[in-house]
Amino acid sequence: MKIELKSLKVHDDMSDETTCYSATVYVDGKRAFTASNNGRGAPDDYHPINHDDTLLNKAIEYAKSLPPVESEWGKYNMDLEYLVMGLIEKKQINAWLKRKCKTKIVLLDPSGEYSTINQKFHIGLIPALKRKYPADEIINLRFE
């Protein structure tokens, strides 16, 4: 099952205990439901499109079928809220990377850490970067 977020709006200035956001959720390419959170610690709200909760229920069951989430606070069973939050984080990281790649060289080392070089990327730098940082992924290539 493919679950995607579109029309995502994150309101960091309104986030208190949880992430304040709103988004439209697509399930297997179909507009399924809206998801939101007011940022004050309450659980996410889900509202099916056209009052048809079939795809929302499928998404809930799919999320429950995924492996548990491990965090610094322990192990938690996966649910739709964790799944949506992971998609939000992924979109935010990709947006940050895309902004950084416009003005810097961005590398990802094997341990998962990002680093930047204060130089605008161009294709001609690839051989030198591969020699100097052979184990790192050149993130700028994702956005070329």
User: Where does the pLDDT of residue 93 fall: very low under 50, low under 70, confident under 90, or very high at 90 and above?
Assistant: very high
- Cβ proximity of 26 and 6 under 8 Å: yes
Residue with tokens 């999320």: 63
Instruction: Give the 3-state secondary structure percentages of the chain, helix then strand then coil, rounded to 5.
Output: 40, 30, 30
Boundaries of every domain in the chain: 1-101, 102-144
Q: What average pLDDT is seen over the chain?
A: 94
pLDDT for 91 equals 95
Residue with tokens 């052979």: 134
pLDDT tens per residue, range 47-68: 999 999 999 999 999 999 999 9
Residue with tokens 């929302």: 56
CA 99 to the chain's CA centroid: 15
> Other C-beta atoms within 10 Å of 141: how many?
13
pLDDT for 14 equals 85
Identify which of 55, 54, 62 has the alpha carbon closest to the alpha carbon of residue 80.
62
